[in-house]
């Protein structure tokens, strides 16, 4: 018994070591955001900041920050709303109807998810410039939909299959149309799935860098990730306090939403692949 307990203590010490390594970068970001410039710029780091200041947050909250947060919100919310509507009906079709080409659509949905997104940079750029959607937020929404739809359709289909079809049939016997049954019976029942997919879409679009950088790069409209990357991209001396304050603020919505659906995202990424 004693041996078992001492083994547990040993594992706990290893566990705390892993905890410190994993949490340190996030801690260091937040700690730096509140430190004074003297503490930030000295060679000897201040592990636990004592005189906290909000000056870096004030420095980071420039008009450009707010306008780029606005751009990001437009793109993200546009993507989420359109992806939800389209994927609800597509998933309903995949879960409830048998039709020719159904297999092909499923293969496409999984296949697109498996591809590296960089591989689609060139064709999407050429396609969008053909329709004059480069340097526009609407063009970026179209690109994000390409990536969000497969995941949303696949996840929602998984949720719908778990719901017995008899419920909708009962509604139709009571006089509802097929569409009415979808909207009145299926929609409320898969609400958790809708929350999970919209949060996932929110996070991936909010975090996206490559396509925002290339599609908006030549204009004056940026998203918040481009704004952040540009902070340390120049040749000027870097204001690390402001960079870390901005980083903290940009991470907050992601962390909050992430906590809501973390389990479901992990489940969706692996479970969908196992069950055909």
Partner 1 sequence: MLVAIAAVLGYPIVNLVELSLQQYGLFQLISHHGIYIGLANYSSIFGNSVFWHVLIRTVLFTAVNVGLTIGLGMLIALLLGRVSTWVKLMLTVALVLAWSTPPVVGVEIWQWMTNSQNGVLNYALTQLHIGNFFQHDWYTSTVSQYAMVTTLLVWGALPFVTITLYAALSQVPHELLEAAQLDGAGARRVFSAVTLPVIRPVLLILLSLSIIWDFGVFTQPFLLIGPSQQNPGNYLMSIYLYEEGYGQTNFGLGAAISIVMLLIVAVLSIFYVRAMVRMGDE
Site residues (CB under 8 A) for partner 1, limited to 94-133: 94, 99, 101, 104-105, 108-109, 112, 114-127, 129-130
| Integer Cα distance of 207 and 139 in angstroms | 17
**Minimum distance between the CB of residue 105 and partner 1, rounded to whole angstroms?**
5
* Helix ranges (DSSP H) in the chain: 2-34, 37-41, 55-60, 63-96, 102-114, 121-130, 137-161, 166-173, 178-181, 187-189, 191-207, 210-216, 224-231, 240-274
Count the site residues for partner 1 by CB under 8 A: 84
* C-beta closer to partner 1: residue 123 or 175: 123
**Minimum distance between the CB of residue 51 and partner 1, rounded to whole angstroms?**
18
**Minimum distance between the CB of residue 149 and partner 1, rounded to whole angstroms?**
7
Q: Could you please report the per-residue DSSP string of 202-246?
A: HHHHHH--HHHHHHHTTSS---HHHHHHHHTTSSSPP-HHHHHHH
Within 12-41, the residues that bind partner 1 by CB under 8 A are 12, 14-16, 18-19, 22-23, 25-26, 28-29, 32, 40-41
Q: Is 229 in the site for partner 1 (CB under 8 A)?
A: yes
**Do residues 260 and 49 touch, judged by C-beta distance below 8 A?**
no
| Integer Cα distance of 244 and 45 in angstroms | 15
Q: Which stretch binds partner 1 (CB under 8 A): 155-163, 171-179, 194-202, 242-250?
A: 242-250
| Integer Cα distance of 132 and 138 in angstroms | 10
What does the per-residue mask of binding to partner 1 show for 139-178, with x meaning CB under 8 A?
Answer: ------xx--xx--x-------------------------
**Minimum distance between the CB of residue 152 and partner 1, rounded to whole angstroms?**
11
**Minimum distance between the CB of residue 93 and partner 1, rounded to whole angstroms?**
6
Residues ≥6 apart with Cβ < 8 Å to 158 = 193, 268, 271, 272, 275
* C-beta closer to partner 1: residue 130 or 220: 130
**CA max distance for the chain:** 75
Q: Which stretch binds partner 1 (CB under 8 A): 49-57, 74-82, 194-202, 256-264?
A: 256-264
> CB burial class (10 A; 0-12, 13-18, 19+) of residue 88?
buried
Can you tell me which of 137, 141, 199, 243 binds partner 1, judged by CB under 8 A? Answer: 243
Nearest to 95 by CA among 22, 160, 187: 160
* C-beta closer to partner 1: residue 70 or 253: 253
Within 177-216, the residues that bind partner 1 by CB under 8 A are 203, 206-207, 209-210, 214
What does the per-residue mask of binding to partner 1 show for 42-61, with x meaning CB under 8 A?
Answer: xxxx----------------
């Amino acid at each position: 018994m004693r041996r078992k307990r001492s083994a547990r203590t040993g594992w706990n010490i290893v566990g705390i070591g892993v905890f410190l390594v994993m949490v340190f970068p996030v801690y260091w970001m937040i700690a730096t955001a509140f430190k004074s410039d003297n503490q930030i710029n000295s060679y000897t780091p201040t592990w636990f900041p004592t005189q906290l200041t909000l000056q870096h947050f004030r420095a980071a909250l420039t008009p450009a920050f707010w306008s780029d947060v606005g751009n990001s919100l437009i793109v993200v919310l546009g993507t989420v709303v359109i992806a939800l509507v389209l994927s609800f009906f597509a998933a309903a079709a995949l879960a409830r109807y048998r039709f020719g080409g159904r297999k092909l659509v499923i293969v496409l949905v999984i296949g697109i998810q498996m591809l590296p997104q960089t591989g689609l940079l060139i064709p999407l750029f050429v396609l969008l410039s053909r329709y004059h959607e480069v340097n526009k937020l609407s063009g970026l929404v179209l690109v994000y939909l390409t990536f969000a739809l497969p995941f949303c359709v696949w996840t929602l289909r998984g949720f719908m299959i778990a719901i017995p079809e008899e419920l909708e049939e009962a509604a139709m016997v009571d006089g509802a149309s097929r569409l009415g049954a979808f909207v009145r019976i299926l929609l409320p029942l898969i609400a958790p799935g809708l929350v999970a997919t919209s949060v996932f879409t929110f996070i991936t679009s909010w975090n996206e860098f490559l396509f925002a950088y290339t599609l908006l790069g030549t204009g004056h409209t940026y998203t918040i990730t481009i704004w952040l990357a540009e902070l340390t991209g120049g040749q000027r001396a870097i204001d690390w306090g402001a960079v870390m304050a901005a980083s903290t603020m940009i991470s907050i919505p992601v962390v909050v939403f992430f906590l809501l659906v973390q389990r479901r995202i992990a489940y969706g990424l692996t479970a969908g692949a196992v069950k055909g």
